[in-house]
A and B are shown apart, each in its own frame.
Chain A
Amino acid sequence: MEKKLVLVHIDDRPYQVEAGQTIMQAADKLGYHIPRLCYHPKISIEGACRVCIVEVEGMKNFVASCAFPIADGMKIRTHTKELRTARRDIVELILDNHPEDCHTCERDGICELQRLAYAMGLRHRHFEGEKKDYEKDLSSTAVIRDPNKCILCGRCVRICSEVQKVNALGHAYRGFKTVVMPAYDMPFKDSVCTTCGQCINVCPTAAFVEKNYTQELFEKLQDKKFVKIAQIAPSVRAAIGEAFGFPPGRAMHLETVACLKRLGFDYVFDTQLTADLTIMEEASEFLERLGGKGKLPMITSCSSAWMKYMEQFCPDLIENISTCKSPMSMMGALLKSYFAQKIKKNPTDILSVAVMCCTAKKYEAARPELEIDSLRAVDIVVTTREIAWMIKSAGIDFVNIKGEQFDEPLGISSGAGAIFGATGGVMEAAIRTAYELYTGETLMDIELNDLRGLSGIKEGKINIDGKEIRVAVAHGLGNASELLSIIRKDPDRFHFIEIMGCPGGCIGGGGQPYAGSNSIPLDEECLRKRAQALYDIDRGKTIRRSHENPDVQKIYKEFLGRPLGALSHKYLHTHYKPKEPRGIIPEEIKAR
């Protein structure tokens, strides 16, 4: 249906625009980027910050362009002298209550508030406002909350409730004393927070940041006692360049390996290899379940935030969850067993570090049930952001460095391992292998386009030896929650389900580089480009199926035996149990 067009004037220029959108939306398309703060296109409109005000002729007051519908005949002005003064004052008033510690702040140089203040032309301050004085919440293994830096834009609250549907955060108290916090002001670690880190991604300041392990890592990298080993997740390579000024969508694993070597790592291995291993186990497990041993649909278990969500919000599905550990934890387990034996080292002398796109992996690494002989499989998890900072801090030239290859024997991966980072990728990788394990024939048409892209819930069918296998994929915990309510009503609808906790999958993880000055957090175009970087890696490989990975075959031959065998179970599988506090799934999802 054609949309109705209306005639408006913006800054005295006439434009025909579609009716039914806000002033801001219309202006965006015409090249007017009205300054904004609390607005984000993925979440509901709050209209709280008033930064995006514009003048509409005939209106007594300035209106918030994010919330005001455009109408025929409107005469809008976006940067008159009065507007510029008002906007500058609004931002100045926000700054008046904000700690003046930019130089020592983690987000110095990549802070939206800083950028906004600069763009509004704030060159001196008129007032000294009252400062907030709250304790930081350091309780979580993954996400830190610092209410002193919070400007109450509410983006974290909305992403947590509307996109992730976790509802860990809310506004409590009122007026100047308003604080964004979990229910009852309980420590973050005791709340329903899944540690997905999306609050960090959308926070314009440093009110939410990841728990930082860079100092500890710098120290341990100097410790002669350890054999220092890093693993790099697929999605890190697809985004790390952004932290160094490269446009999104460039795969930079070789540069990252070279930098990690210079930071002091003895070995740099590829999490994509254990992604292949995950597929060997998961595809085998799926076929076993398909043969009647275990519950269907089987649901993937690689995403740490999704696992915590599942244990709190839908423990009724525990039996449906694959028992496979995540690729990160599989790598950690191998480092402290297989690889330690290979290099004749005591597992206690191995420093196992994971470079992840994810904040929740910090939580996962600390799960006691993932320990190998009472040792943590992964000692330290750092995010893409943290490692980028470490590289900069150590003065290593990421931009011009000559790339280096991953180390042997845990460095070779298939294309299937690479696409693990994008929503739909685990399913695609699993099907490539399950098909061959089941039929004995090679699946030729391996690019499963139904499962790619950023639709919230994707469905697909594949014919395996005359049997129709129905699969579904969801990314972001809100979409996951919707998909699960479909399953509850119709348990036989799907055989196999992939869930990733973050929008876009791991590529949109809570540990990825902050949006740069010309971008917004969780920008879909950026997510698409990151995903494309992984699909390009896949396409560029000769080996595109996990079971063809020679290193994986070698690990089974030398160490594990066979998929789902006794040693595989010891090192590569885990279990889940219900956790408190029980999560509450909002009514609108249940009703669907």
Chain B
Amino acid sequence: MEMIDNKKIGILKDHIKSFSNKPHPESNLIAILHKAQELFGYLDKDVMNEIALFMNIPRAHIWGVATFYHFFRLKPQGKHSISICLGTACYVKGASEILDMIKSELKIDIGETTQDGLFTLIETRCLGACGLAPVIMIDEKIYGNITPKKAIEILKTFKK
């Protein structure tokens, strides 16, 4: 388990305090979890523990909220996120072969992160770049007209 970044915890606690004068400060839990995810990239158990103790909200309740909303990530994310488009245009142009290739190359499934923490694989539905189909997006950049082979070459450029 990694040590929690105390500076980030400080920012998070300040954020929690900013609600303390309002009625029912505990009702801002979702906003606070958003902030925690923004700071840490995902909702770490230790971070949720800090929130529980600081806000005096039982852990089981926080866990209920964190697991209810799909927006919250419960596992660390890779340094780079690979979004593979499985929308109609990309799909008919062979996105599933690309997906299979990436999965076997990185040895992860959709939603998972590589062991070295470099990539997280995400599926999306249409990135609005159908003219370039099939596409993948790595972080904020779109790569068009991809083939399985090209996809692997692109990934290699991130591994250096």
- Give chain A's interface residues, CB within 8 Å of chain B: 161, 167-174, 181-185, 191-192, 581-582, 584-587, 590
Q: A166 — nearest CB in chain B belongs to which residue?
A: B58
Q: Ordered nearest first, which 7 A-B pairs have the shortest CB separation?
A: A170-B60, A167-B58, A183-B59, A170-B64, A183-B63, A172-B67, A183-B60
Nearest chain B CB to A176 CB, angstrom units: 13
B61 interface contact, C-beta 8 A: yes
- Bound Cα distance A175, B45 (Å): 23
| A564 CB → nearest B CB, Å | 38
Q: Nearest Cβ in chain B — how far from A188, in angstroms? A: 12
Within 8 A of A (CB), among B1-58: 26, 45, 48-49, 52-53, 56-58
Nearest CB in chain B: distance from A273 CB, A = 40
Contacts A161-B58, A183-B48, A584-B52 aside, 18 further interface pairs with beta carbons under 8 A come to: A170-B60, A172-B63, A172-B67, A172-B68, A173-B67, A174-B68, A183-B58, A183-B59, A183-B62, A183-B63, A184-B63, A192-B58, A192-B59, A581-B49, A581-B59, A584-B53, A584-B59, A587-B56
Residues of chain B at interface, number, CB under 8 A:
17
Cα A582 to Cα B49 in complex, Å, equals 10
Q: Which residues of A contact B62 (CB under 8 A)?
A: 183
Q: Is A184's CB under 8 angstroms from B48's CB? A: yes
* Least distance between B84 CB and chain A CB atoms (Å): 24
> Given that A161-B58, A174-B67 are known contacts, is A184 also in contact with B26, CB under 8 Å in the complex?
no
Residues in B whose Cβ lies below 8 Å from that of A192: 58-59
24 A-B residue pairs with CB within 8 Å: A161-B60, A161-B61, A167-B59, A167-B60, A170-B64, A171-B64, A172-B63, A172-B67, A173-B67, A174-B67, A181-B60, A181-B63, A183-B52, A183-B58, A183-B62, A184-B59, A185-B63, A191-B60, A192-B59, A581-B59, A582-B53, A584-B57, A584-B59, A590-B56
Chain A residue nearest to B24 in the complex (CB): A587
Interfacial chain A residues near B64, Cβ < 8 Å: 170-172
Among A183, A586, A590, residue most surrounded by chain B Cβ atoms (within 10 Å): A183
Contact between chains at A585 and B56 (CB < 8 Å): yes
Closest CB in chain A relative to B16 CB, distance in Å: 14
Q: How far is the CA of A586 from the CA of B64 in the complex (A)?
A: 16
| Nearest-Cβ distance from residue B43 to partner chain A, whole angstroms | 10
Contact between B56 and A169, CB atoms less than 8 A apart? no
- Taking CB as reference atom, which chain A residue is nearest B66? A172
Known A-B contacts A184-B45, A184-B48; A168 and B60 likewise in contact (beta carbons under 8 Å): yes
**Minimum CB distance partner of B62 in chain A:** A183
Is there contact, CB below 8 Å, between A173 and B26? Answer: no
Residues of B within 8 A of A172 (CB): 63-64, 67-68
Which residue of chain B has the shortest Cβ distance to A584 in the bound complex? B58
- Taking the nearest CB of chain A, how far is it from the CB of B11, in angstroms? 22
CB neighbours (8 Å) of B67 from chain A are 172-174
List of B residues within 8 angstroms of A174 by Cβ: 67-68
Residues in chain B near residue A168, CB distance under 8 A: 60
With the chains together, A174 CA to B70 CA distance in Å?
10
**Residues B117-144 near A (CB distance < 8 A):** none
Name the distance in Å between B19's Cβ and chain A's nearest Cβ: 13
CB-CB nearest in chain B for A173: B67
Chain A residues, Cβ within 8 Å of B48: 183-184
A324 to B49 alpha-carbon distance, docked (Å) = 33
Cβ distance B104 to chain A, nearest Cβ, rounded Å: 27
Which residue of A has the minimal Cβ distance to B56? Answer: A587
Distance (whole angstroms) from the CB of A34 to the closest CB of chain B: 29
In contact, A169 and B60 (Cβ under 8 angstroms): yes
A interface footprint on B84-105 (CB within 8 Å = 1, 0 otherwise):
0000000000000000000000
**How far apart are A197's CB and chain B's nearest CB, in angstroms?**
17
Known: A173-B67, A184-B48. A586 touches B60 (CB 8 A): no
Q: In angstroms, how far is the closest chain B Cβ from the Cβ of A580? A: 10
Nearest Cβ in chain B — how far from A583, in angstroms? 8
| CA gap between A293 and B33 in the complex, in Å | 48
> In the complex, what residues of A have CB within 8 A of residue B68's CB?
172-174
A582 / chain B contacts, CB cutoff of 8 Å: 53
> What residues of A have a CB within 8 angstroms of the CB of B26 in the complex?
587
Across the interface, do B61 and A167 meet the contact criterion of CB distance under 8 Å?
yes
Q: How far is the CB of B45 from chain A (nearest CB, A)?
A: 5
Q: Nearest chain-A residue to B69 (Cβ)?
A: A174
Q: How far is the CA of A185 from the CA of B68 in the complex (A)?
A: 14
Contacts of A586 in B (CB 8 A): 56, 58
- CB of A23 to closest CB in B, whole Å: 29
Residues of chain B contacted by A581 (CB below 8 angstroms): 49, 59
- A581–B63 CA distance with the chains assembled, in angstroms: 15
* Cβ contacts under 8 Å, B63 to chain A: 170, 172, 181, 183-185
Chain B positions within 8 Å of A182 at CB level: 59-60
Let me know if A170 and B45 touch, CB within 8 A: no
- Chain A residues with CB under 8 Å of B60's CB are 161, 167-170, 181-183, 191
Alpha-carbon separation in the docked complex, A432 to B53 (Å):
42
Compute how far the CA of A182 lies from the CA of B52 in the bound complex, rounded to whole angstroms.
Answer: 14
Task: Point out the residues of chain A lying under 8 angstroms from B58, CB to CB.
Answer: 161, 167, 170, 183, 192, 584, 586
Contacts known (A184-B45, A587-B26); A170 close to B56, Cβ less than 8 A: no
Q: Which of B58, B64, B67 has the most CB of A within 10 A?
A: B58
Of chain A, the residue at the smallest CB distance from B61 is A170
CA gap between A167 and B48 in the complex, in Å = 15
Tell me, in angstroms, the Cα distance from A169 to B49 when the chains sit together.
Answer: 15
Give the distance in Å from the alpha carbon of A173 to the alpha carbon of B72 in the complex.
11
Closest residue of chain B to A167 (Cβ to Cβ) is B58
Minimum Cβ distance to chain A for residue B2 (Å): 16
B137 to chain A, nearest CB (A): 27
How distant is the Cα of A171 from the Cα of B67 in the complex, in angstroms? 9
CA separation between A174 and B58, bound complex, in Å?
19
